[in-house]
Amino acid sequence: MKRAISFLVKWIIIFFVASVLIFGLVRLMPTSPVDRWLSSYNLPRTEENIAYVTERMGLNESLPVQYAAWIGNFLKGDWGYSLKSHLDIKEQFIQKLPYSICIGLTGILVAAFLSFFIGYRAALNRGGICDRLSSVLSIFSQSVPSFIFAIIIIYFFSVKLKAVKFFTGNGAYALITASLITAFYNLGILSRVVRNAFREEMDKSYVRFAVSRGFSKEKVLFHHASKPVICRLISTVIADFAWVFGGSTVLEFAFSIPGVSFFLVSSMQNSDYNVLQTYILIVIIWMFFVHLVLNLVLYAIDVRRR
């Protein structure tokens, strides 16, 4: 009970501290949304125009009053309106979130599933095919940017072979390809984590004792050493879940997928305070539920935590 309360209090503090910081930081941007709005409509920066647009955007109040109104409305479910388009931010996020979550979540889950078996085989056969494959994938994902790989795929399959049309139809091909690229770029690192975790378990006494009694190393590792390895894998994946939103930005642009990251970049170009603030809080809420669910999974399968 104490651990649950401390976990909840920690995330409440993180939420409010982050909300104050992001509220202040976005207002340090070199250009204000008022300047962006006037420039987009080719209007002169007269005192009358600045005063009118500032009042229209609700930026004429003091910063504490603006913060109190914003965070209060956010907690009530009213996320406000875009300073640029005046569209409801909540509706915009609801429309765009499924694309980003599909790309990031599918990619990470597929990578975690495949990495367990690749890492398992890599640990059993050092220098074997799976061991070399995991090493190559890890090096490739860290040396070749994902947007270059995406452009190569688009050129080869869409332009050269004309086998797939990524930018027409319902966008299913683009979404599936972006998810697979996400999985590909997480697979190498996660498989190396699993491989190293299995290698550590192989040196422990309970594994060596079971093997000395005649049990095969493959069965001992898979049936008895898999739980601590899965715990290590889940602990690594927790950090990767923050990548669900921000990490899919280049892929959303490459495949013209109208996700949250695509929406965020356009909002940054217009210095849209309300959208930027809401985005950060959504990421914090998302990570709260990720930590909550995965820590419950770890608690269920890891005896040492109990």
Can you state the angle between helices 2-25 and 273-301, rounded to 10 degrees?
160
Instruction: Compare 16 and 211 and report the one with higher pLDDT.
Output: 16
The predicted structure's pLDDT at residue 115: 92
Smallest Cα–Cα separation from 293: which of 233, 212, 218, 238?
238
Can you read off the two tokens belonging to residue 303?
A: 């005896």
pLDDT digit string (tens) for 112-126? 999 999 999 998 888
* Range 237-241, long-range pairs (CB < 8 A, 24+ positions): 237/108, 237/112, 237/190, 237/294, 238/290, 238/291, 238/294, 240/108, 240/186, 240/190, 241/104, 241/105, 241/108, 241/286, 241/287, 241/290
Helix (H, G, I), strand (E, B) or coil at 272: coil
Domains by residue range for the chain, with CATH: 2-75 (no CATH), 96-269 (1.10.3720.10)
pLDDT digit string (tens) for 182-212? 899 889 899 999 999 988 888 888 888 887 8
The predicted structure's pLDDT at residue 114: 93
Torsion sign (Cα): 281, 282, 285, 287: negative
Confidence band for 245, pLDDT divided at 50, 70 and 90:
low
271: left (phi over 0), alpha (psi -120 to 50) or beta: left
Q: Which helix (H) or strand (E) holds 97?
A: helix 89-124
The predicted structure's pLDDT at residue 190: 92
**Residue 248 · residue 259 · CB < 8 Å:** yes
pLDDT digit string (tens) for 88-112? 888 888 888 888 888 888 888 999 9
125: left (phi over 0), alpha (psi -120 to 50) or beta: beta
pLDDT digit string (tens) for 44-58? 878 787 787 777 777
Residue range 130-149: mean pLDDT, rounded: 88
Smallest Cα–Cα separation from 96: which of 245, 220, 233, 227?
245
Residue range 275-299: mean pLDDT, rounded: 84
Can you state the angle between helices 129-143 and 172-202, rounded to 10 degrees?
120
pLDDT score of 306 more than 70: no
134: left (phi over 0), alpha (psi -120 to 50) or beta: alpha
Confidence band for 246, pLDDT divided at 50, 70 and 90:
low
Confidence band for 303, pLDDT divided at 50, 70 and 90:
low
* Least confident residue range of 97-101, 147-151, 254-258, 263-267: 263-267
Q: Which helix (H) or strand (E) holds 27?
A: none
The predicted structure's pLDDT at residue 191: 92
The predicted structure's pLDDT at residue 142: 85
Which amino acid belongs to residue 110?
A: V
